[in-house]
Amino acid sequence: MDDKVIIFDTTLRDGEQVPGCQLNTVEKIEVAQALENLGVDIIEAGFPISSPGDFKSVVEISKSVTNPIICALTRAVKKDIEVAAEALQYAKRKRIHTGIGTSPFHIEHKIRTTPEEIIRRASDSVKYAKKFVEDVEFYAEDAGRSDNEYLAKVIEAVIKAGATVVNIPDTTGYCLPEEYGAKIKFLKDNVPNIDKVIISTHCHNDLGMATANTIMGVINGARQVEVTVNGIGERAGNTSLEEIAMIIKSHHDLNLRTDINTKMIYSISRLVSTLMSMPVQANKAIVGKNAFAHSSGIHQDGVLKKRDNYEIIDPVEVGIRESSIILTARSGRAALNHRLELLGFKLNKEEIDDIYHSFLQLADKKKDINDEDIRILTGEVSHGEKKLKLEHLQVACGKSVMPVATVGLRVNGEVHVATSTGNGPIDAAFTAVKQLISKTVHLEEFLIQAITKGSDDLGKVHIQVEHQGNIYYGFSANTDIITASVEAFIDAISKIK
């Protein structure tokens, strides 16, 4: 059997069904192009009959993407299929994804018909889709809870009708991995014409088993997996693309491969998270903030001796510069010394012991110790006069007003002024600051927190900026969050050597 696992990405269809995560067409094109660069084989671009916006997105994605097959979803309904075919007219390679429910729940309580009628409708819809496109994928909705014997009959019929791919969704995320794997094996062993098609998995994560189920499907003969970036999707989400790509890459024993350029995983994860305003949970496998962060002393020591002691994936493989050693009250001398060395300090054992003592005292008070704290502990930096200081700030913003900010920045004793517009007052002020400094900096992280409750709160701002591959942290607190943001930005920039 072919060792290639085809990656069918449904971030823009099943993923985009998440309430509050809707993208406009321009944003969808940006994601589709990033998916193409990532190396996915198929992009499910939308459900054209569902809305004019979805229709337009399928049309525009078809025009702007070259290599992946563009797929459009339909129900087993003639009108859906006609509209999907029309939306796909510009796609260089196109697929219609049609289907119907096959579980007793769906047959009796949703479609309210008979099992025989379902087979007829399934096969008619595939035949109808074949009039428009060669490549037709059939989905047996709620296959996870469908009877295997009956499912085999449906699948045999749709293959006879011309389906090229058969999708076996665990729509409700109910199956156990063994059960889902056995379902795929049952179809392989009992559907006489199954060798004419590719079997696809489509697993939901309601019980946290989507990735395990998908892998069991592949082990049992599926060669297409339906996935989303960051595992986004209805309810608890779909199988996550990055998890499948990295399982296949890490487990050589599976003898499988994908065409995913894994080094682009982190950037597309950030893109999707930002555009959909859907934060990635910190402990999410592969792309979470903590996925390559070590905080306990024992682990830090182990990783510093040899990365493989506690890491099975080199973060560089997924596009993350390096694993991070987070300095906390649980860190040991090895981790502290490692950070000191990265900052250019070469200290002897007694000096490290001394600093370690003050480090622990500070770490008891402060959750996360940054480079600036370390420099202060070594005595290299005093809290004295700063080389950059916000002298004054004036912003104008509001509804139907173009945000504009004027910043006065004291640079080595002299005040320089710049004015800029932006997409909001903070963006305008940051752009003005950037005009006043000679360095190129990228904002990596920006966190605003209220210290207490109420509108008269102090706002705390933490910022990370990147300059020539190094990260610099800035902090400020102020009742005016715009001032706090600009001060934190300047604080971070002023640490660049």
b/e 68-107 (16+ beta carbons within 10 angstroms → b): bbbbbbbbbeeebbbbbbebbeebebbbbbbbbbbbebbb
Q: How far apart are CA 229 and CA 277, in angstroms?
A: 13
Please give the distance of CA 422 from its chain centroid, rounded to a whole number. 27
Query: Least Å distance between CB 457 and Zn ion?
Result: 41
Count of helix runs (H) and strand runs (E) in the chain: 16, 16
Nearer to Zn ion, 10 or 483 (CB): 10
In the list Zn ion, ligand KIV, none, the entry touching 44 (Cβ below 5 to 8 angstroms by class) is none
In the list Zn ion, ligand KIV, none, the entry touching 121 (Cβ below 5 to 8 angstroms by class) is none
Using CB under 6 A as the binding rule, the residues of this chain from 153 to 182 that contact ligand KIV are 167, 169, 171
80 binds Zn ion (CB under 5 A): no
Q: Do strands 414-421 and 69-73 pair parallel, antiparallel, or not at all (unpaired)?
A: unpaired
141 binds ligand KIV (CB under 6 A): yes
Nearer to Zn ion, 140 or 336 (CB): 140
Say how many C-beta atoms besides its own lie within 10 A of residue 419's C-beta. 14
3-state SS assignment for residue 227: strand
Task: Report which of 201, 134, 187 is spatially closest to residue 157, judged by C-alpha positions.
Answer: 187
Contact track, ligand KIV, 92-121, x by CB under 6 A: ------------------------------
Nearer to ligand KIV, 183 or 202 (CB): 202
242 binds Zn ion (CB under 5 A): no
Nearer to ligand KIV, 148 or 328 (CB): 148
Following CA atoms 353, 357, 360, 364 in sequence, which dihedral angle do they give, to the nearest 10 degrees?
180
Looking at the DSSP bridge assignments, the partners of residue 398 are none
In the list ligand KIV, Zn ion, none, the entry touching 495 (Cβ below 5 to 8 angstroms by class) is none
Is 150 buried (19+), middle (13-18) or exposed (0-12) by CB count in 10 A? middle
Interacting residue with ligand KIV among 55, 139, 359, 473 (CB under 6 A): 139
Length of the chain: 497
In the list Zn ion, ligand KIV, none, the entry touching 141 (Cβ below 5 to 8 angstroms by class) is ligand KIV
9 binds ligand KIV (CB under 6 A): no
3-state SS assignment for residue 496: coil
If binding means CB under 5 A, how many residues of this protein chain bind Zn ion? Answer: 1
Q: What residues contact 288, with CB distance under 8 A and at least 6 apart? A: 280, 281, 282
Q: Are 180 and 202 in contact (CB under 8 A)?
A: no
292 binds ligand KIV (CB under 6 A): no
Contact track, Zn ion, 2-41, x by CB under 5 A: ------------x---------------------------
Task: Report which of 371, 316, 303, 362 is spatially closest to residue 342, judged by C-alpha positions.
Answer: 371
Helix (H) / strand (E) element for 69: namely strand 69-73
Query: Least Å distance between CB 439 and Zn ion?
Result: 46
14 binds ligand KIV (CB under 6 A): yes
Nearer to Zn ion, 204 or 284 (CB): 204
In the list ligand KIV, Zn ion, none, the entry touching 338 (Cβ below 5 to 8 angstroms by class) is none
68 binds ligand KIV (CB under 6 A): no
If binding means CB under 6 A, how many residues of this protein chain bind ligand KIV? Answer: 8
170 binds Zn ion (CB under 5 A): no
Query: Least Å distance between CB 89 and Zn ion?
Result: 25
The position carrying tokens 């993208």 is 23
In the list ligand KIV, Zn ion, none, the entry touching 139 (Cβ below 5 to 8 angstroms by class) is ligand KIV
Query: Least Å distance between CB 130 and ligand KIV?
Result: 19
Binding site residues, Zn ion, CB under 5 A: 14
Binding site residues, ligand KIV, CB under 6 A: 14, 139, 141, 167, 169, 171, 202, 204
